[in-house]
């Protein structure tokens, strides 16, 4: 007999551990405030709890095709992670999703998120350089993705769609997309959250509250704070801490059911972050380490989590956004309008010579503004065939005002007199597209889906360089302008068949597209070409043994044209194209309900990548001096040379990735215990097209124990957690440089651990 399906709603919180006295006082004060807040006269909300005794897997509802569907019925490779799984695995930021989602890698440079999906991604972090893997929040596309915006507070689920999404999600979704869906406000009052403390003197707090204002009108509010007072290491040049973070974020959603067929949702968010996590944080040791600037000589290794810089790395980001979503059911179809505006300001400082000498400093003042409008009309359930049509418009401005360079390398042009070089670069994009997709039911078990999208991108830009003495008026340089226009028709065709009620197979052919772009550091009048990805895929989705095991898999082949690639030219950055590349691979992911309360999750991915044609890459000239008086052999001192990377591995593409995790829920007479452990493995990859810098393989082990106190509503819980338990040393960014210090890097997080106090009412 088939086991019954179960619906699960689960709530939770966030972080803590040993405390210094000042932090203990802060934590205690926050706890008292939270208790007062949640003990107000608002009535407690009844919540549906996880019924582990059913020993079956819950349904996962996704919107991968812009309509609500069971994950197992969607003929697309989708990894969906709900709020319950995020909390069990202590995934508090989307930056850690690669620990549990196969073939997903998330890199952060200069405060900007760079997702890589199935080996496809864009390593650039410049303002104006959009990601190949698109990121959406509540249906709104982000042209730049600040890391602070991906702290997972008030999240309902995260959907990761793999492969080109060139029909329904056409804006720069050549590799796929990551869609973060936040919770909907409820008319029933509820409050939940947590306060926590962790090593490196880190305080975390979050709160979520929702209530009704009137019949059909509800509002929610969420807030999050991360305050890390101690760094991962030291700046040995200044003696100050390095590797700290301070992040604040707010989000609110107002939902109005204006009538039985009409709903309006208004969303606003704000986040602000201050940290020193940059790819230019430290220079690398070993064969890629260069010479010390004069006077020459060997320098001791400051340590894996230490840096040596007179100009401390800094990344500040402040962003906000507002969006409105209007839905109306006409009976035969539902119309949706999503209007959004976003504003992002960033300030980045990095020491371009990676040393304690005042040779070259960069101050980057970035700004991104975007407006978007999307209209959709989708057939309702019960139609003889499913269809959806829509239109999308994006207007975005991105750039630097200015990028400022100072130091001895600039002063050399004025005979040693302090001078400033300011570089201004701005790009604009106006993108418009029309799209449609339909699914025809060929009998009860077979569906044929086809879709088209036509996109036109109009690009323009302007830039100049000013040079002047400190304290003197700027001398404006000549303006440089550029314009370009790109048009592309993208498509999708897929066929799926239900072998049984619980097993589906599918095959698809699709094309994805990412717009061309102008360089903004400095501005160049010739735009990089658009990326085009043609993908062939076969896959299956299954639920076995009375829905106790869910097993989904896919195999694919990608033909990649004009991959956009970031190259460094001294302190500036240039985006170029790799004419041709290919990737093929396979992935498997699953969940298993092994016994009452015991759940297993697992996934694995294999990727084989190669640049088929990349004659215009570059490689630094290696310094081969062997005179001990002048320093170690190796390093880069003579600039870059042209390099043919054809036949090399693509950047940031690990051949193998695995993860396995287990969650055990134990109900006792004294409360509920929940145990979770997760292991993630990365086989390693090349950082640059010449494959000279490589990340070795590494594993990350995370674990947590949560105890929920007995009582009605399970209102209080405590949690102990730890990440990177084995103290694995790895890098999250490496950048080749032609400077005498060699290449720079950003270490991944060391072992972190903490304690949380969680509540809900």
Lookup: tokens for 458: 């109009």
For residue 288, what is the DSSP state? T
Lookup: tokens for 136: 């959406």
The CA–CA distances, whole Å, from 347 to 379, 399, 416, 435 equal 45, 12, 27, 37
Least confident span in 292-296, 478-482, 492-496: 292-296
- More confident of the two residues 708 and 4: 708
What is the pLDDT at residue 29?
A: 42
Sign of CA dihedral 244, 126, 401, 353: positive
What is the pLDDT at residue 409?
A: 86
What is the arithmetic mean of pLDDT over 195-223?
Answer: 96
CB contact set of 80 (below 8 Å; sequence gap of 6+): 60, 62, 71, 157, 158, 159, 160
Neighbours of 425 (CB within 10 A): 27
What is the pLDDT at residue 741?
A: 60
CA 442 to chain centre: 38
Is the pLDDT assigned to residue 640 strictly greater than 80?
no
Is the pLDDT assigned to residue 367 strictly greater than 60?
yes
The CA–CA distances, whole Å, from 11 to 8, 52, 208 equal 10, 15, 10
Neighbours of 11 (CB within 10 A): 19
Query: What does pLDDT average to over the chain?
Result: 85
Is the pLDDT assigned to residue 285 strictly greater than 60?
no
Neighbours of 534 (CB within 10 A): 18
Is the pLDDT assigned to residue 18 strictly greater than 60?
no
What is the pLDDT at residue 384?
A: 82
Rounded Cα distance between 222 and 562, Å, is 41
What is the pLDDT at residue 518?
A: 93
Question: In the chain, what percentage of residues exceed pLDDT 90?
Answer: 60
- Residue 733: band (very low, low, confident or very high) from pLDDT cuts 50, 70, 90: confident
Least confident span in 128-132, 630-634, 671-675, 736-740: 630-634
DSSP run (H or E) holding 194 = strand 190-198
Least confident span in 329-333, 352-356, 398-402, 507-511: 352-356
- The label of the residue with tokens 């990761």 reads 160
What is the pLDDT at residue 36?
A: 35
The CA–CA distances, whole Å, from 103 to 195, 584, 640, 657 equal 32, 12, 32, 7
What is the pLDDT at residue 556?
A: 97
What is the pLDDT at residue 26?
A: 45
Report whether 180 contacts 137 (CB < 8 A).
yes
Is the pLDDT assigned to residue 370 strictly greater than 80?
yes
Lookup: tokens for 388: 């959806």
- Residue 585: band (very low, low, confident or very high) from pLDDT cuts 50, 70, 90: very high
pLDDT tens digits along 303-328:
889 888 888 889 999 999 999 999 99
Pairing of strands 262-275, 731-735: unpaired
What is the arithmetic mean of pLDDT over 394-408?
Answer: 94
What is the pLDDT at residue 4?
A: 41
**Backbone angles phi and psi of 23, in degrees to 5:** -70, -35
Burial of 68 (0-12, 13-18, 19+ CB in 10 A): exposed
CB contact set of 33 (below 8 Å; sequence gap of 6+): none
What is the arithmetic mean of pLDDT over 442-470?
Answer: 94
- Residue 525: band (very low, low, confident or very high) from pLDDT cuts 50, 70, 90: very high
- The label of the residue with tokens 């950055």 reads 573
- The label of the residue with tokens 């995934």 reads 91
The CA–CA distances, whole Å, from 592 to 56, 221, 521, 725 equal 8, 35, 49, 25
Neighbours of 475 (CB within 10 A): 11
Pairing of strands 240-242, 233-235: antiparallel
pTM listed for this prediction: 0.88
**Backbone angles phi and psi of 460, in degrees to 5:** -150, 160
What is the pLDDT at residue 631?
A: 40
If you write DSSP's letter for every residue of 712-747 in order, what string do you get?
Answer: TT--EEEEEEEESTT----EEEEE---STTB-EEEE
List, in order of start, the domains of the chain with CATH numbers: 21-760 (2.40.170.20)
- Residue 181: band (very low, low, confident or very high) from pLDDT cuts 50, 70, 90: very high
Sign of CA dihedral 50, 500, 68, 117: positive
What is the pLDDT at residue 627?
A: 46
For residue 444, what is the DSSP state? S
Buried-state track 684-697, b at ≥16 Cβ within 10 A, e below 16: ebbbbbbbbbebee
Least confident span in 232-236, 285-289, 422-426, 629-633: 629-633
Least confident span in 13-22, 155-164, 280-289, 618-627: 13-22
- More confident of the two residues 682 and 619: 682
The CA–CA distances, whole Å, from 368 to 19, 83, 128, 173 equal 39, 30, 8, 19
- Residue 88: band (very low, low, confident or very high) from pLDDT cuts 50, 70, 90: confident
Lookup: tokens for 485: 């226009």
If you write DSSP's letter for every residue of 638-707 in order, what string do you get?
Answer: EEEEEE--TTSPPBT--SEEEEEEEEEEEEETTEEEEEEEEEEEE--EESSTT--SEEPPEEEEEEEEEE
Neighbours of 567 (CB within 10 A): 18
What is the pLDDT at residue 572?
A: 73
pLDDT tens digits along 127-154:
888 888 999 999 999 988 887 777 777 8
Neighbours of 528 (CB within 10 A): 23
What is the pLDDT at residue 87?
A: 84
What is the arithmetic mean of pLDDT over 468-481?
Answer: 92
CA neighbor of 555 nearest in space, from 490, 607, 591: 607
Lookup: tokens for 133: 């893997």
- More confident of the two residues 389 and 295: 389
What is the arithmetic mean of pLDDT over 271-279?
Answer: 87
What is the arithmetic mean of pLDDT over 67-74?
Answer: 86
Rounded Cα distance between 151 and 96, Å, is 10
- Residue 713: band (very low, low, confident or very high) from pLDDT cuts 50, 70, 90: confident
Beta bridge partners of 514: 531
What is the arithmetic mean of pLDDT over 260-270?
Answer: 96
**The three-state (H, E, C) secondary structure of 569-618, written as one string:** ECCEEEEEEEEEEEEEEEEEEEEEEEECCEEEEEEEEEEEEEEEECCCEE
What is the pLDDT at residue 300?
A: 60
Helix (H, G, I), strand (E, B) or coil at 470: coil
CA neighbor of 520 nearest in space, from 385, 425, 655: 425
Q: What's the residue count for the chain? A: 761
Lookup: tokens for 431: 């993108």
Rounded Cα distance between 145 and 116, Å, is 13
Q: In 260-415, which ranges are E strands? A: 262-275, 282-283, 314-329, 333-351, 361-379, 385-406
What is the pLDDT at residue 621?
A: 65
């Amino acid at each position: 007999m088939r086991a019954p399906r179960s619906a699960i709603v689960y709530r939770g919180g966030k972080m803590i551990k040993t405390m210094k006295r000042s932090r203990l006082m802060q934590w205690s004060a926050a706890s008292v405030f939270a208790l007062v807040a949640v003990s107000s006269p608002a009535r407690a909300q009844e919540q549906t709890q996880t019924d582990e005794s059913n020993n079956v897997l819950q349904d996962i509802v996704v919107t991968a095709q812009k309509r609500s569907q069971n994950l197992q019925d969607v003929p697309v490779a989708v990894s969906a992670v709900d709020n319950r799984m995020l909390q069990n695995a202590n995934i508090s930021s989307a930056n850690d999703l690669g620990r549990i989602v196969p073939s997903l890698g998330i890199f952060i440079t200069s405060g900007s998120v760079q997702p890589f999906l199935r080996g496809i991604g864009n390593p650039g972090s410049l303002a104006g350089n959009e990601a190949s893997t698109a990121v959406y929040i509540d249906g709104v596309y982000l042209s730049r993705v600040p890391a602070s915006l991906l702290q997972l507070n008030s999240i309902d689920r995260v959907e990761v769609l793999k492969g080109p999404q060139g029909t329904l999600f056409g804006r720069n979704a050549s590799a796929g997309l990551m869609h973060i869906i936040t919770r909907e406000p409820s008319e029933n009052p509820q409050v939940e959250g947590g306060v926590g403390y962790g090593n490196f003197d880190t305080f975390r707090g979050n709160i979520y509250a929702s209530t009704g204002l009137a019949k059909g009108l509800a509002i929610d509010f969420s807030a999050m704070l991360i305050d890390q007072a101690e760094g991962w290491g030291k700046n040995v040049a200044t003696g100050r801490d390095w590797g700290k973070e301070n992040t604040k974020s707010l989000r609110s959603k107002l939902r109005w059911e204006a009538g039985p067929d009409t709903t309006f949702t208004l969303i606003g968010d704000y986040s602000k972050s201050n940290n020193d996590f940059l790819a230019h944080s430290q220079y690398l040791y070993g064969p890629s380490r260069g010479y010390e600037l004069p006077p020459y000589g060997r320098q001791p290794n400051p340590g894996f989590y230490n840096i040596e810089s007179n100009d401390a790395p800094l990344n500040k980001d402040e962003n906000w956004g507002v969006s409105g979503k209007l839905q109306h059911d006409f009976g035969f179809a539902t119309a949706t309008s999503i209007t959004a505006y976003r504003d992002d300001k960033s300030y980045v400082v990095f020491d371009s010579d990676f040393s304690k000498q005042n040779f070259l400093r960069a101050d980057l003042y970035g700004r991104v503004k975007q407006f978007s409008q999307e209209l959709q009309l989708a057939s309702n359930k019960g139609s003889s065939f499913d269809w959806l049509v829509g239109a999308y418009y994006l207007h975005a401005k991105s750039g630097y005002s200015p990028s400022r360079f100072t130091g001895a390398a600039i002063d050399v042009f004025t005979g040693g007199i302090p001078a400033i070089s300011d570089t201004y670069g701005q790009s604009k994009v106006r993108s418009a597209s029309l799209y449609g997709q339909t699914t025809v039911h060929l009998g009860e078990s077979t569906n044929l889906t086809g879709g088209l999208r036509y996109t036109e991108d109009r690009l323009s830009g302007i830039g100049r360089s000013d040079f002047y003495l400190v304290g003197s008026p700027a001398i404006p340089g000549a303006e440089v302008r550029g314009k370009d226009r790109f048009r592309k028709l993208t498509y999708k065709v897929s066929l799926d068949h239900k072998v049984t009620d619980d097993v589906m197979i599918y095959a698809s052919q699709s094309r994805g597209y990412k717009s061309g772009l102008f360089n903004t550091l400095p501005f160049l009048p010739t735009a990089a070409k658009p990326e085009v990805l043609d993908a062939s895929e076969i896959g299956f989705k299954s639920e076995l043994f009375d829905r106790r095991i869910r097993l989904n898999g896919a195999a694919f082949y990608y033909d990649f044209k004009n991959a956009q690639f970031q190259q460094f030219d001294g302190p500036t950055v240039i985006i170029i194209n790799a004419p041709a590349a290919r990737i093929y691979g396979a992935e498997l992911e699953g969940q298993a309900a092994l016994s009452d309360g015991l759940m297993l999750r697992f996934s694995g991915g294999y990727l084989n990548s190669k640049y088929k044609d990349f004659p215009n890459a570059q490689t630094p000239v290696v310094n081969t001096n062997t005179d001990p008086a002048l320093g170690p052999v190796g390093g880069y001192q003579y600039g870059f040379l042209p390099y043919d990377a054809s036949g090399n591995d693509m950047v940031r593409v690990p051949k193998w990735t695995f993860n396995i995790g287990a969650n055990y829920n134990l109900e006792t007479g004294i409360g509920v215990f929940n145990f979770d452990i997760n292991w993630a493995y990365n086989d390693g990859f090349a950082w640059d097209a010449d494959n000279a810098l490589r990340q070795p393989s590494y594993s990350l082990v995370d674990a947590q124990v949560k105890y929920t106190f007995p009582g009605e509503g399970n209102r209080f819980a405590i949690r102990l957690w730890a990440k990177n338990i084995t103290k694995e040393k790895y890098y999250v960014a490496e950048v080749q440089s032609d400077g005498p210090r060699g290449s720079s890097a950003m270490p991944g997080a060391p072992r972190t651990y903490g304690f949380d106090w969680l509540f809900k009412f």
